[in-house]
Amino acid sequence: MVIPLPTDETIAAIATAISPGQGGIAVVRISGPKALSIGKNIVYIAGKKPAWSSHTVLYGHVMNEENNERIDEVLVLIMKAPRSFTGEDIVEIHCHGGLIAVQRVLERVLAHPEVRRAMPGEFSQRAVLNGRIDITQAEAINELIGARSKKAAQLAMASLDGGIQRRINALRETLIDQLSELEARVDFEDELPPLNDSEILNELLKVRSDLLQLVEDAKRGAIVHQGLRVALIGCPNVGKSSLLNRLSRRERAIVTNLPGTTRDLLESEIILEGVPITLIDTAGIRATNDEIEKLGIARSQEALTSADIVIMVFDLSIGWQKRDKELLNQIPPEIPFLLIGNKADLQDKSGLPKRNQNIETKQAYVSVSAKTGEGEEALASSLLKICGAYDTQGIQLALNTRQRDLASNAASALDRLKEVSTQKLPWDFWTIDLREAIQILGEITGNEITETLLDRIFSRFCIGK
């Protein structure tokens, strides 16, 4: 899909989430040169004809043109160019939420011959191309809307306030200054004082170091934006579902004393220290002749290999068993895991000897009781430590995946200058990698903008952004 560059077309879409029985209001946004005339055509406002002045709110009804039926009672917000989100004339129709009313209003808008349905991200794309926001801010809007935790929203707001743009622009300006100096020497070296190549290289490598720090922050901050998938595995009846319910603070899973109760994957999302974590309760892995249970176990094994972190649960009341060891060995070596001994309450009451010295691993375990909550804080702390969540606390800016990859590429271009310097090559060889780094950083901020870049970024947005 290719999103066209702004034209004289007028576009419209629902700009709010819609769901049956949810949301008191919904917003239909119209942007483009015909926005006002379309609004005037479909919204009836009783009394004296209003002026439809910019930044005013009008009350009226969306009317069915064929039978003069009132489709919905609405408020109309008018924002004339350039003082609008897209930089174009915008009319927003605030109607009732849910599904039917807002869809009928949108249908009435799209029935007008001078408007078409907006494509994904097209409102934000026009805002960028009309100079209302830059690309990093447009991406931040998308991230803010999709934020699953307070920390993710804070990082998105830092980008929306222009933090990434300012940081990258400052580094890019430093490179441009150095490129100007080098190019002057290429053309007029005999007429200008000589440059110290070591000083130039140190200045460029300092920019590289700053870029690599942004890349590292982005890697650590990715878990805040993307979250983690944590698989709960264990032999049947060790208390995985009870532990899921305890961590989720609600009864998400059915719990019985019968082994094999969980037949399919069950997911529940929690937030720990600003990190969204999706807990996946799996079927107990064991040999069985039950065909349905076999399917559940197969899915459990798939979840085991695709999870970011594995929590393996064993039964403290009976101690570490051979089957626990066999299951532990199935965890892929590249996936970090946390060992949890559940049913600590039963162990204490029964007076059973501690048999956990039989655990044939150096991995420490956390003793918990899903029933009483004992050890829950230690479990959460250990999980956060394993996933690196504590490393995200001091991050103020976090590049997204696209920006991080470009920053890494720019740093690599600057790194190649070390070899150029070592070989004592002429200044025009320096400018090759320097220009590449400048161009790459321009892609992050939109200084180097192409239709392909726009398509790649905005096609990932939902319609209405």
Q: Read off the pLDDT of residues 335-344 as tens digits, 9 standing for 90 and up.
A: 888 899 898 8
Binned at pLDDT 50, 70 and 90, residue 188 comes out as: low
pLDDT on residue 262: 44
Residue of higher predicted confidence among 387 and 126: 126
pLDDT tens figures, 156-184: 888 888 889 999 999 999 999 888 877 77
Mean pLDDT of 219-243: 82
Binned at pLDDT 50, 70 and 90, residue 324 comes out as: confident
Instruction: Tell me the C-alpha distance between 79 and 36, whole Å.
Output: 9
Residues paired with residue 268 on neighbouring β-strands, in sequence order:
279
Residue of higher predicted confidence among 190 and 272: 272
Question: DSSP label at 64?
Answer: -
Q: Which two tokens stand for residue 422?
A: 């070592």
Percentage, residues of the chain above pLDDT 70? 78
Q: Which two tokens stand for residue 97?
A: 């939420």
Q: What residues does CATH 3.40.50.300 cover in the chain?
A: 227-392
pLDDT on residue 351: 42
Mean pLDDT of 217-234: 82
Mean pLDDT of 26-36: 96
Residue in this structure with the two tokens 């996946």, named with its chain if needed: 280
User: Residue 463, Cβ neighbours under 10 Å: how many?
Assistant: 15
Q: What residues does CATH 1.20.120.430 cover in the chain?
A: 159-223+397-457
Question: CATH for 159-223+397-457?
Answer: 1.20.120.430
pLDDT tens figures, 61-73: 998 878 888 999 9
pLDDT tens figures, 235-284: 888 888 888 888 876 554 434 444 444 444 577 788 877 778 888 877 55
Task: Please state, rounded to an integer, the average pLDDT across all residues of the chain.
Answer: 81
Give, in order, the Cα–Cα distances in Å from 159 to each of 209, 297, 313, 353: 21, 43, 40, 55
pLDDT on residue 263: 40
Sheet holding 25-31: strands in order across? Answer: 43-44, 56-63, 70-79, 90-96, 25-31, 11-14, 116-117
Instruction: Tell me the C-alpha distance between 19 and 59, whole Å.
Output: 24
Which residues contact residue 445 at a Cβ distance below 8 angstroms, ignoring those fewer than 6 apart? 134, 135, 136, 164, 165, 168, 169, 172
Mean pLDDT of 142-152: 81
Binned at pLDDT 50, 70 and 90, residue 353 comes out as: very low
Residue of higher predicted confidence among 150 and 443: 443
Closest CA to 308 of 219, 224, 386: 386
Pick from 63-77, 307-321, 353-367, 371-385: least confident = 353-367
Each residue of 283-294: b (16+ CB within 10 Å) or e?
Answer: bbbeebeeeebe
Residue in this structure with the two tokens 């399917």, named with its chain if needed: 295
Topology annotation, domain 227-392: Rossmann fold (3.40.50)
Binned at pLDDT 50, 70 and 90, residue 362 comes out as: low
Can you state the angle between helices 451-458 and 122-129, rounded to 10 degrees? 140
Are 290 and 260 in contact, with CB atoms under 8 Å apart?
yes
pLDDT on residue 399: 87
Domain 11-134: give its CATH superfamily. Probable tRNA modification gtpase trme; domain 1 (3.30.1360.120)
pLDDT on residue 276: 83
pLDDT on residue 37: 94
Percentage, residues of the chain above pLDDT 90? 28
E-only strand ranges, 204-272: 228-234, 266-272
Q: What residues does CATH 3.30.1360.120 cover in the chain?
A: 11-134
Give, in order, the Cα–Cα distances in Å from 434 to each of 57, 178, 183, 202, 425: 52, 9, 11, 13, 14
Mean pLDDT of 143-165: 84
Pick from 117-126, 182-191, 373-382, 438-447: least confident = 182-191
Binned at pLDDT 50, 70 and 90, residue 323 comes out as: confident
pLDDT on residue 200: 85
Instruction: Tell me the C-alpha distance between 134 and 165, whole Å.
Output: 8
Binned at pLDDT 50, 70 and 90, residue 214 comes out as: very high
pLDDT on residue 193: 62
Residue of higher predicted confidence among 308 and 390: 308
Pick from 262-266, 385-389, 434-438: least confident = 262-266
pLDDT on residue 144: 86
